[in-house]
Structure 1
Amino acid sequence: MSPRKSEKQETSYHVIHKLPPGDSPYVRAKHVQLVHKDPDAAIVLFWKAINAGDRVDSALKDMAVVMKQQDRAEEAIEAIKSFRDRCSKQAQESLDNILIDLYKKCGRIEEQIELLKQKLWTIYHGEAFNGKPTKTARSHGKKFQVTVKQETSRILGNLGWAYMQQGNFLAAEVVYRKAQLIDPDVNKACNLCHCLIKQARHFEARTVLEDVLMGKLPGSEDPKSRTRAEEILLELEGGGGAYAQTLNSPSLLVESSSSLEDAFVEGLDHLMKQWAPYRSRRLPVFEEISSFRDQLAC
C-alpha cells in the first residue's frame, strides 16, 4: 500500500468518526469515546490529556459532557472549577454554559441563577461572544449563527425557569416578560402563563395564551407547543373560582407587583453592589421592572 493511499484512508477514517487528526492524548480519548463507545475509559483519558496540557479547552469540555451523561454531574462541576484556569479566555463562555446545565441537573438552583446573572452582566458590558456581535453554535452536527439578542433571550428563559423551580413566580414573570420583548416564542409565553396562573392572575394569562393559540408567536405551528397551550387553556377554564376572584380583585395585581419592586429589585441592587460598588445603573434586563407595577395597576 502506497504512503499516499494510507494517508487518504486515515483521513477518511477520522472524518467518518469525527475524530481530530493525530495520536495525542486528547485524540486517543476521543477515539475511545466515539469509536469504542467506552465513556468511563474516555473520562480517564480526558484527565490524562488535561494533565498533559493537550487541547485542554476541548478535553475539559468533552470530559464534563461525558460525565454528565454518566450521571457524574457533581464530579463534572468540580472538574470545571478545578481546571478552568488552565483554559483559554475563549473557552470560558462555553464552560459557563456547561456549568449551567450541570447545576440544573444537580438541582443546584442558587448557583445556576448566580451564573446566569453573571452572564447577563457580561452581555451588559459588551463582553459576550468575546466582544463579537455573533457566535457560531452547533446543534445536531450543524453550525449556525447566534446573535447577542438571541443569546440574551435564551439566558433570560433559563433564568425564568430557574426562578420557577424556586417557586419565585413573580421574579420568573418579570424575566419572561423581558425575554418576550427581546425574542418572543411559544415556549416562553407558555411559561409566562404558568407564572401568572400560579399568582391567580388568570385574565392576564389568558391574554398571553391567545397570542399562542392564534399563531402570532414563533413556534405556534409546532404540534407539541399547541398541545401545551391547549392544556393551559383547560387549566384556566377549570379554575373558575380563582379566575373570577382575580377579575374582581384588581388590588391583588398591585400588591403582587409591589412585592416584586420591594423584594426582587432590592435583591438585584444588592447583587449589583457586589459586582460594581460604584455603579448605580441597573442591568437593562431589569430596567422595566418598576414599570410593570403601573401597567398592572391600570
Structure 2
Amino acid sequence: MSLRKSEKQEMSYHVIHKLPPGDSPYVQAKHVQLVHKDPDAAIVLFWKAIHAGDRVDSALKDMAIVMKQQDRAEEAIDAINSFRDRCSKQAQESLDNILIDLYKKCGRIEEQIELLKQKLWMIYHGEAFNGKPTKTARSHGKKFQVTVKQETSRILGNLGWAYMQLGNYVAAEVVYRKAQLIDPDVNKGCNLCLCLIEQSQYLEARTILEDVMMGKLPGSEDPKSRTRAEQILLELGGANSHASRSSPRLVESSSSLEDVFSQGIERLLNDWVPPHMSRRLPVFEEISPFMNQLAC
C-alpha cells in the first residue's frame, strides 16, 4: 500500500531535520532542539523523557550535551551521575566520554584523570568495545571505524594532557611515551616535547621536533601541526640545546609512575599471566615490554 502524501511529507520532514518518528517526550525534545533551536526548552523536555522512561539512553546523552553548550556543565555532570543507572550497559561508555569532556570543561582534572584510568582498565580487561577489536564512531555526521589501539592511544593522550594541567610533567611524559608507542602522531609528539622541555630534556625534545619537520611522524603533513612544531622549536632556540639527554629528572619520577597507574594497571602489565582463553587485548601485549623497562 502506497503512503499518503501527508505521510510522505512527514517522513521527509523528519529526515531533513534528522528527527526520530513519533510524538513521544524524547521526539518533542529533539524537535524543540533541532527545529525551534530552543535549548532551554529542549532540556526541560529531555528531563521529561528521562522521567517517563522514553529513550533514556539518548535523552540523557543529548541533554548533557545541550547543557554543556549552554555553559551548564556542572548540572550536566550531576544529571549523568544521577540517572546513568537508568541507562543500558551499552550506553555507559558514551556517557563516560561525555563526562570526561565535562570534567575537563569544569576544570575538575582529578576526576577526569580517574575516569580516564578507569577506561584504560576496562580496555585492558576487554570490557570496552564489547570485547571487539573495533567500534563504529561518528564525527561531523560521518561514521568511521576506531581500533582498540587508536582508542587506547587517544585515552592516554587525554590522560597525559590532564597531568600537564596539574603540572605533573614526569607523569605526563610516561603516559605520552606509552601513547606514542601504540599509535604515534604529531600532536602527542609535540605534547611529549613540552613535557621534556619542562624537565630540561632539550636534546630529545629537539630530536622529536625535527622528526616532525622531516615528516617522520603521522600527521606531519598537517600545516597546523608543522606550525606548532616550528613554534616549539623557536622556543627551544633560547634554551640549552646541547643539554645532556640524561639530564637529572625530578625526584618524584618513580612515585609519579605509580601515581599514573594507581588503579593497578602497571602491576597488571608487568605481572599478569594470561589465563586460558584470555580476553586481554593484543595492544597490552605489545606495550608490556615498555612497561617492564620503565619498572627497572
Is 62-71 or 177-186 further displaced after alignment?
Answer: 177-186
Is 229-238 or 55-64 further displaced after alignment?
Answer: 229-238
Greater RCO, 1 or 2 (C-alpha within 8 Å, sep 6+): 2
Following the alignment from structure 2 to structure 1, what is the Cα–Cα distance between the partners of residues 101 and 289?
A: 27
Structure 1 residues 286, 79: closer, same or farther in 2, change over 3 A? Answer: farther
Secondary structure of the residue aligned to 2:220 is: coil
Following the alignment from structure 1 to structure 2, what is the Cα–Cα distance between the partners of residues 39 and 265?
A: 43
**Residue of 283, 293, 296 corresponding to 1:291:** 293
Structure 1 residues 205, 67: closer, same or farther in 2, change over 3 A? Answer: same
Structure 1 residue 293: Cα displacement: 8.1
Code of the residue aligned with 2:33 in structure 1: it is Q
Pair 1:107-2:99 in alignment: no
Q: What's the counterpart of residue 217 of structure 1? A: 217
Q: What's the counterpart of residue 43 of structure 2? A: 43
Pair 1:272-2:274 in alignment: no
* 1:214-293 to 2 correspondences below 5 Å: 214-240=214-240, 243-244=241-242, 246-247=243-244, 250=246, 252=248, 255-256=249-250, 259-261=252-254, 263-267=255-259, 270-272=262-264, 281=272, 284=284, 288-289=290-291, 291-292=293-294
Structure 1 residues 189, 265: closer, same or farther in 2, change over 3 A? Answer: closer
Q: Deviations over 1:250-274 (max 9, x none)?
A: 451xx44x7322x12333565329x
Are the aligned partners of 1:174 and 1:289 in contact in 2 as well (CA < 8 Å)?
no
Secondary structure of the residue aligned to 2:187 is: helix
Following the alignment from structure 1 to structure 2, what is the Cα–Cα distance between the partners of residues 130 and 293?
A: 31
Secondary structure of the residue aligned to 1:138 is: strand
Structure 1 residues 251, 34: closer, same or farther in 2, change over 3 A? Answer: closer
Aligned length: 282
Secondary structure of the residue aligned to 1:216 is: coil
Q: What's the counterpart of residue 154 of structure 1? A: 154
Are the aligned partners of 2:206 and 2:236 in contact in 1 as well (CA < 8 Å)?
yes
Give ranges in structure 2 of 5+ residues lacking alignment: 274-279
> TM-score scaled by structure 2?
0.89
Secondary structure of the residue aligned to 1:35 is: helix
Q: What's the counterpart of residue 276 of structure 2? A: none
Q: Percent identity?
A: 77
Q: Deviations over 1:32-76 (max 9, x none)?
A: 000000000000000000000000000000000000000000000
CA RMSD of aligned residues (A): 2.4
Is 57-66 or 200-209 further displaced after alignment?
Answer: 200-209
Give ranges in structure 1 of 5+ residues lacking alignment: none
Q: What's the counterpart of residue 23 of structure 1? A: 23
Q: Deviations over 1:96-131 (max 9, x none)?
A: 000000000000000000000000000000010122
* 1:59-78 to 2 correspondences below 5 Å: 59-78=59-78
> TM-score scaled by structure 1?
0.88
Q: What's the counterpart of residue 8 of structure 1? A: 8
Structure 1 residues 269, 45: closer, same or farther in 2, change over 3 A? Answer: closer
Following the alignment from structure 1 to structure 2, what is the Cα–Cα distance between the partners of residues 267 and 216?
A: 32
Code of the residue aligned with 2:252 in structure 1: it is S
Code of the residue aligned with 1:260 in structure 2: it is S
Q: What's the counterpart of residue 120 of structure 1? A: 120
